[in-house]
Structure 1
Amino acid sequence: MATLHLVPVVDEGLGNSTYLLDVGEDRALVVDPERDLRQVRAEARQLGLTIAYAAETHLHADFISGVRELQHTEGATVLAPEAGPREFAHTVINDGDTLDLGDFTLQALATPGHSPEHLCYLLLDHGRIVGVFTGGSLMVGTAGRTDLVSPDMTVPLARAQYHSLHRLMELPDDTPVWPTHGAGSFCSAAAGGERTTTIGRERATNPLLQVVGEDAFVEALLGSLGTFPDYFLRLGEVNRRGPVVLGTTPSLPALSADRVKELQEQGAQIVDARQPADFAAGHIPGSLSIALRPAFATWLGWLADPNRPIIIVRNPDQDPEDIVWASAKVGFDALTGELDGGIPAWTRSSAAVTASLIDAERLVSGAEASAAVIDIRQASEYATGHVAEARSIELGGLTEHLSELPTGPLVVMCGHSERAMSAASILERSGRTDVSVLDGGPADWMRAAGRSLENGR
């Protein structure tokens, strides 16, 4: 019996897990790798493993796949479902197919739903079930959304998801379940931070497995879905054709302040990756605030225009590699460059503008107390607790709702301040000069106001 050495590599920002498995003879299998492979490669090196196989459960919509990177740089064999044919070399896997990896065998289970071609992979040791990689099918407390292909496929795929989950329920209760999507992923609607589970636990506790019948399942699944970034609608096709192989870390050329100004006048967009307080203290007019943190890739993909050049502004202590790889994960392969010397270089020749960052006490009792409050968190977050007077407009849809905003002073809030500052930068670009950002979130307001939050939408 082989010893299981399975390493989950978690992307907290995108909410996904890539799995690195030692399959014997110093070789490894990687399941659902993202394009930023730095941690996966580091884990493999630490274990003395060569990545021999790269398997995909489905065509990913939420990130650029890393299988081609592994194929070209490591010589890995790509394993992928036959449906939704990829336009690059890969080994086709169909329902019931098995592949001898060495110490383990991989067996494919057709589980359409999250996508039409979705496969789960049973991991076997001499016929004994070791666990199952479930991708975007069965997840902790939920199942993968089915509305990423096309509107006319949403319900049929939800029905397929029902049958796929019940197929997985035929496995023994003690079978470990290793999903790709999890907490923080827009492909998942479940709360909580756990990323792995078992068949028995999901059978007993997953709300989607407690409803009776296919129709009730479809209603429950579709009723749990929130909005998702619009870049999901284009990355699947990029992954099907085969992403450009980057090989090494993309460059981030240094640009003078004059050159940045020239490129901005020609249509380039400025993405300021500094934290909200730094952005508030001074930033390039018209720039978009997206603070560098785990969720940077998601909000860059959602808010930035993929058809316009991007110039980065960062602080010296922010790692440019983190910025370029986060950008590449959502399809921004080649950033135009960064402001050489940061904001100090800009202010030596041009004026910076500031933003208003206020604390909860000032929102409650200061001049901003009479301002309209906009809560730009996801609707599901808003429903769990919000300021009574706050109106819900999700950040991802803010641009489409600008004309609906009230005139006069605005206060924008989220959970901490990062997304709110992104919203404030969008409002500034639209011409608003009367916007403040709450430094904190609803809980801070509740403490300052001595009032409870409201629930519901």
Structure 2
Amino acid sequence: MAKLDLIPVIDEGLGNSTYILDLGDGRALVMDPERDIRGVRAQARRLGRSIAYAAETHLHADFISGVRELAGSDGATILAPEVGPRGFTLPGLRDGDTVGLGALSLQAVATPGHSPEHLSYLVLDDGRIAGVFTGGSLMVGTAGRTDLVSPDQTVPLARAQYHSLQRLMELPDETPVWPTHGAGSFCSAAAGGDRVSTIGRERATNPLLQVSGEDAFVEALLGSLGTFPDYFLRLGEINKQGPAVLGAAPALAALTPGRVRELQDHGAQVIDVRTPADFAAGHIPGSLSNTLRPVFATWLGWLADPGKPVIIVRAPDQDPEDITWEAAKVGFDALAGELAGGLSAWNAAADAPDAEVVAPLVPADLIAPEATILDIRQAGEYAAGHVPGARNIELGALAGHLSEVPDGPVLVMCGHGERAMSAASILTAGGRTGISVLDGGPGDWTNATGKAIQTSR
């Protein structure tokens, strides 16, 4: 059996791996592609391969699937689980179905749990198992969460996940395991950096496979789950009905300051994608800070309203295509446009309101002793180590808990500063004053003060 040529295309922000499998005859299969297929196309071109198949393991909740994008632009054949009527035509696969791929073949294995229809796929080379794509079922050191369908399905799906992992454990120890979700994904609870594994390694080291019996597995899996973005609850249906095929990056229309104000008056949201320092120095009143970085799409989907127009404010060196593709990953297909000329154009407009200023990023050794410290990281991050006395309200929940934030001065902190600036923008848009942002995280505070951080575990 020849060694497979498998290339991962990793989205560090969403924590997902798309795989390109070289079929050895000038063609390739792409497994679990995201909607932004620029990286996939670039790798296929580098290999000199045409994309013949676009496959997915389940109806993704954390991103818009790219299978229709590849079918529309590259003529790829879609391979996906049977889920009943869809908004587009494809031959849905069921347990045991096998698809010939030239010298290789792909065999579907029902592994429900992360979703009811979830399939894993065995890659067969001359009938022998060469590896398994496990999607959101078996992952490195964990398994996919089961609370993304409905509360009444969370426990039944966790029980199904137990049996799915037991079924995968019937594979030989040396079988390579290629999950879709990994570190950084809200579909996964593991914190490690490895993205691939083997059946034997998971059998020996995966904590969920060390517990005894189904009930203990369910308790351990559900006990490991944190919060997740609420857009996870709507993307699965979009993927089932079939997202629009974009073909190219959606355009950003140029908007004058006057047009931006007019759209704001009618409910439009302004998303400022510049750095925290730039936002702190001045921004359009009421705008949300969400720095363009690998996790931009996650926080756009979590904090912005998909039912309202979105206006972008960017720096001159930020690529508009990167912004629009990131937005499209989480279902924001048609942005209203961008402020032409950036914030300098806003400041130059005679009738524009003055740009708001958030207090500059505060070094850890200059924290005002009377300030309330608000830590807006995830609960698990906070428990692992935080500044003593800091209050924890997760960024994703902050807008609904403004009444719990005391009057200023309030110092907002996260791990580096980007999420904290998002929180500061929410607080100032809600009328709060005396808000500042820590330049850094708990480690910087420790280095500056010589004091130990506190844990809650």
Instruction: Work out the CA distance in 2 between the residues paired with 1:231 and 1:245.
Output: 20
2:334 maps to 334
Distance 2:372 2:249 in 1: 44
Look up the match of 2:364: 360
How much has 1:101 moved relative to structure 2? 0.3
2:57/2:120 contact within 8 Å kept: yes
Q: How far is the alpha carbon of 1:279 from its aligned partner?
A: 0.3
Greater alpha carbon shift after TM alignment, 344-353 vs 305-314: 344-353
Matches within 5 A, 1:364-383: 368-383=368-383
Partner Cα distance (2:306, 2:42) in 1: 30
- Distance, in Å, in 2 between the alignment partners of 1:252 and 1:415 is 31
CA distance in 2, matches of 1:444, 1:456: 19
Q: Partner residue of 1:274?
A: 274
TM-superposed deviation, 1:217? 0.2
In the TM superposition, residue 420 of structure 1 has moved relative to its aligned partner by 0.2
Tell me the equivalent position of 1:11. Answer: 11
Q: Which amino acid aligns with 1:348?
A: A
In the alignment, is the contact (CA less than 8 A) between 2:56 and 2:79 conserved in 1?
yes
Query: 1:39 deviation in Å?
Result: 0.3
Listed as ranges, the gaps of 5+ residues in structure 2 are none
Equivalent position SS for 2:80: strand
Distance in 1 (CA, whole Å) between partners of 2:143 and 2:321 is 33
Q: Find the aligned partners of 1:90 and 1:316 in 2 and give their Cα distance.
A: 43
- 1:293 aligns with 293
- Is 214-223 or 87-96 further displaced after alignment? 87-96
Matched residues in 2 for 1:411 and 1:12: separation? 28
Shift >6 Å, 4+ stretches = none
Amino acid at match of 2:397: G
2:129 & 2:111 partners in 1: Cα distance? 17
How far off its partner does 1:85 sit?
4.1
- Structure 2 counterpart of 1:262: 262
Q: Which amino acid aligns with 1:183?
A: A
1:105 is aligned to: 105
Aligned to 2:28: 28
Distance (whole Å) between structure 2 residues aligned to residue 138 and residue 122 of structure 1:
13
Q: Which moved more, 1:78-87 or 1:341-350?
A: 78-87
153-162 or 344-353: bigger deviation: 344-353
Secondary structure at the aligned position of 2:29 is classed as strand
Aligned 8 A contact 2:407 2:432 in 1:
no
Q: Secondary structure at the match of 1:177?
A: strand
SS at match of 2:72: helix
Q: In the alignment, residue 340 of structure 1 is paired with which amino acid?
A: A
Q: Normalising by structure 2, what TM-score?
A: 0.98
1:84 Cα offset (Å): 4.8
In 1, Cα distance between equivalents of 2:423 and 2:103: 51
Amino acid at match of 1:262: E
* Corresponding letter in the other structure for 2:369: A
In structure 1, distance between residues paired with 2:218 and 2:98: 31
Task: Give 2:151's aligned residue.
Answer: 151
> Which aligned pairs between 1:117-196 and structure 2 lie closer than 5 A?
117-196=117-196
Decide whether the 8 Å contact of 1:360 with 1:448 is kept in 2. Answer: yes
Residue 435 (str. 1) matches residue 439 (str. 2): no
Task: Give the whole-Å Cα distance in 2 for the aligned partners of 1:436 and 1:281.
Answer: 12
CA distance in 1, matches of 2:302, 2:456: 25
CA shift digits 1:59-92 (9 cap, x unpaired): 0000000001111111111111113543212122
AA matched with 1:354: V
Matched, 1:250 2:253: no
Name the TM-score, length of structure 1 as normaliser.
0.98
- Distance in 2 (CA, whole Å) between partners of 1:3 and 1:28 is 15
Identity of aligned residues (%): 72
User: What is the CA–CA distance in structure 1 between the aligned matches of 2:344 and 2:369, rounded to whole Å?
Assistant: 34
Contact 1:32 1:65 in 2 (8 A): yes
**Aligned-residue offset at 1:124:** 0.8
- How many pairs were matched up? 453
Contact 2:95 2:108 (8 Å CA) reproduced: yes
* Kept after mapping to 2: 8 A contact 1:84/1:240: no
Residue 93 of structure 1: SS of its match in structure 2? Answer: coil
Q: Contact 2:408–2:433 at 8 Å: present in 1 too? A: no
| Structure 1 unaligned residues grouped into runs of 5+ | none
| Matches of 2:181 and 2:85, distance apart in 1 | 22
CA distance in 2: counterparts of 1:103 and 1:184, whole angstroms:
35
**Are the structure 2 counterparts of residues 101 and 13 from structure 1 closer, same or farther at C-alpha, using a change threshold of 3 Å?**
same
Could you tell me how far 1:262 is from its partner in structure 2? 1.4
Supply the AA of the counterpart residue of 2:365.
E
1:359-394 per-residue CA deviation (whole Å, 9 max, x = no partner) reads 10111xxxx221111100001111111011111110
Partner secondary structure for residue 161 of structure 1: helix
Post-superposition Cα deviations, 1:169-201, rounded to whole Å, max 9, x if no partner, equal 001111110000000000000011110011011
Distance 1:238 1:83 in 2: 13
- 1:242-273 CA-to-partner distances (Å, cap 9, x unmatched) read 00111111101111111111111121110000
